[in-house]
Amino acid sequence: MSNTIETIKEQIESNDILLYMKGTPRMPQCGFSSQAVQALMSCGERFAFVNILENPDIRAELPKYANWPTFPQLWIKGELVGGCDIIVEMAQNGELEPMVKDAVSDAEE
């Protein structure tokens, strides 16, 4: 197994809320990442992120590992939630915030 896959697994395991995105939350580099960040930030909790533009090996390997071809990718408690459309839809229908809050409260216990 490649070191990149090991790195991805470690990132996912060590962060309860993790967004793989293009750019950073303050400076998203694509519209989809920007929408995903806004949806996540509206939940009011801190989250980790990986800028895939600065990590081309992760950008190449993560879609295969996740079996999900696009970015951004939101992972909560080690499970892939989905990409931009799913994140935004969940935020709009009220599913995202409780999921994020649960992940944070579990981490604090």
Which residues contribute to the annotated binding site for [2Fe-2S] cluster?
30
Question: Which residues are known binding-site members for glutathione?
Answer: 22, 59, 71, 84-85
Question: Which residues are known binding-site members?
Answer: 22, 30, 59, 71, 84-85
Q: Which candidate, 49, 21, 37, places its Cα nearest to that of 87?
A: 37
